[in-house]
Amino acid sequence: MQMTQALKHYLKFSDLTAAEYAYLFERTALIKQKFKAYEKHQPLVDRTLAMIFEKASTRTRVSFEAGMYQLGGSVVHLTTGDSQLGRAEPIEDSARVISRMVDLVMIRTYGQDKIERFAKYSRVPVINGLTNEYHPCQILADIFTYIEHRGSIAGKVVAWVGDGNNMANTWLQAAELLGFTVHVSTPSGYEIDPALAGVHSSCYKVFKDPMQACAGADLVTTDVWTSMGYEAENEARKKAFADWCVDADMMRAAKPDALFMHCLPAHRGEEVEAEVIDGPQSVVWDEAENRLHVQKALMEYLLLGALK
């Protein structure tokens, strides 16, 4: 249970500084290179990660679980249904108990307040694996993917087409911290909430028309129309979002070398046309794979600090 680093949580993108991100992106490249070369990299031998899922997952589960094993550690997987979390044990008590037995905790849940409360009572670092408000690990992977393909994201334009959701909020936080701009287009009633994201107006611009948001963009990105937890709104959302489907015309409005990203899972024919997500500008498979590599760098950093 020894940490060589002061207790540091990763609950939202703005929990780390630009300098820490620069370190993490460099470290991720090294860790990825070792993984590709089948070279062992096991700084977390004997360390345990508890993963708590209150919502479904494929990428987050596999990347954290495989990543922790590859780093030499092990994992415990909990869900609401198979733990006392689903039987109303207070989150504060769960945090006190779980964090005495493991070295690191990853949580996917509903309200951000829940993960903040858990972190307050945790003895070990807590990582946000998605809340209704934020998805920092995904944006970490997205920006690493952008850098791999195109170099620094500073000064670039990211077009966000669709829901003003957890992904959109996190893109705003990243833009403010790393110096790029988000051009946002959402249907009315589904706008972004800059106050919630805690950002200044200089890091984003709002457009009614999604084509205008995409004009001249370096990266076009979107997400499902209905996020987990909002399923009851599905039919209303399908109507409201009909014009917010990323298609070939939107990609043509962006820069000729613009990339397309989607955190996945995707619904072809809803938020994105198949010809875009399966087309030459799409980097969604690299983006998904990079969840593994960035989170290995993140777990190592939270437990051991910056390494040479």
Nearest to ligand NVA of 183, 237 (CB atom): 237
Nearest to ligand NVA of 68, 263 (CB atom): 263
Stretch touching ligand CP by CB under 6 A, among 58-66, 82-90, 115-123, 144-152: 58-66
Q: What residues pair up with 219 in beta bridges, in sequence order?
A: 158, 259
Establish if 58 lies at the interface with ligand CP (CB under 6 A).
Answer: yes
From residue 190, give the alpha-carbon distance in Å to each of 48, 162, 249. 39, 8, 23
Catalytic residue among 47, 108, 237, 262: 108
Nearest to ligand NVA of 103, 133 (CB atom): 133
Catalytic residue among 112, 163, 263, 293: 263
Binds 217, which of ligand CP, ligand NVA, none (CB < 5 to 8 A, cut-off by type)?
none
* Rounded-to-integer distance, Cα 1 and Cα 88, Å: 27
How far is Cα of residue 111 from the mean position of the Cα atoms in its chain? 16
Figure out which of the listed residues 59, 156, 237, 296 binds ligand CP, where binding follows CB under 6 A.
59
Establish if 60 lies at the interface with ligand CP (CB under 6 A).
Answer: yes
Distance of closest approach, residue 216 Cβ to ligand NVA, in angstroms: 26
Figure out which of the listed residues 71, 106, 182, 263 binds ligand NVA, where binding follows CB under 6 A.
263
CA-based nearest residue to 108, from 46, 47, 64, 69: 64
> Residues 102-141 vs ligand CP: string with x where CB under 6 A?
----------------------------x-------x---
Establish if 271 lies at the interface with ligand NVA (CB under 6 A).
Answer: no
* Rounded-to-integer distance, Cα 52 and Cα 95, Å: 11
> Residues 214-243 vs ligand NVA: string with x where CB under 6 A?
---------xx--xx---------------
Catalytic residue among 47, 135, 262, 293: 135
| 204 DSSP assignment | E
Establish if 263 lies at the interface with ligand CP (CB under 6 A).
Answer: yes
* Rounded-to-integer distance, Cα 61 and Cα 283, Å: 21
Amino acid letter, 119: A
Q: What residues pair up with 104 in beta bridges, in sequence order?
A: 49
What stretches of the chain show up as alpha helix (H) in DSSP?
A: 18-36, 59-70, 91-101, 112-120, 136-150, 166-178, 194-197, 210-214, 234-240, 248-253, 274-277, 284-304
> Is 108 assigned a catalytic role?
yes
Catalytic residue among 70, 138, 173, 295: 138
Binds 223, which of ligand NVA, ligand CP, none (CB < 5 to 8 A, cut-off by type)?
ligand NVA
Establish if 169 lies at the interface with ligand NVA (CB under 6 A).
Answer: no
Binds 222, which of ligand CP, ligand NVA, none (CB < 5 to 8 A, cut-off by type)?
none
* Rounded-to-integer distance, Cα 97 and Cα 136, Å: 25
Strands 157-161 and 126-128 turn out to be unpaired
Q: Nearest 5°: CA angle at 275, between 272 and 278?
A: 90
* Rounded-to-integer distance, Cα 118 and Cα 20, Å: 24
Catalytic residue among 59, 237, 262, 291: 291
Could you give phi then psi for residue 71, rounded to 5 degrees? -80, 0
**Footprint of ligand NVA (CB under 6 A):** 130, 165-167, 223-224, 227-228, 263
Active site residues: 108, 135, 138, 223, 263, 291
